[in-house]
Amino acid sequence: MQWVRDPTGRFSERPFYEEWELDDICETAVEKFFSGRLGRAFAPPLSDDDLQNLVEEHVGVLDLYADVIAAEGADVEAFTEFRPGEKPTIKVERTLSGDPRRRNRLRTSLSHELGHVLLHRFLYEDQWKQGSLFGGSSAHGRRAICRRETMLRAGKTDWLEWQAGYACGAILMPRSNLLEAVRQAVGQSPFALGERMQPPPQLVIQIARDFQVSEEAARVRLEVLRFAG
pLDDT level of residue 120 (50, 70, 90 thresholds): very high
Count H helices and E strands in the chain, helices first: 9, 8
User: Which of 80-94, 135-149, 159-173, 202-216 bottoms out in mean pLDDT, i.e. has the lowest?
Assistant: 135-149
Mean pLDDT (whole number) for 123-139: 63
> Cα dihedral angle (136, 143, 158, 19), rounded to 10 degrees?
100
| Dihedral sign (CA 141, 147, 152, 157) | negative
Mean pLDDT (whole number) for 180-197: 75
Residue 41 phi/psi, 5° resolution? -80, 150
Q: For 26-54, what is each residue's pLDDT tens digit?
A: 999 999 999 998 899 999 999 999 999 99
In percent, how much of the chain has pLDDT > 70? 88
137: helix, strand or coil:
coil
Residue 80 CB partners (closer than 8 Å, separation 6+): 88, 89, 90, 113, 116, 117, 143, 144, 146
The full set of domain ranges for the chain reads 2-172, 174-229
Residue 196 has pLDDT above 90, yes or no: no
More confident residue, 25 or 138: 25
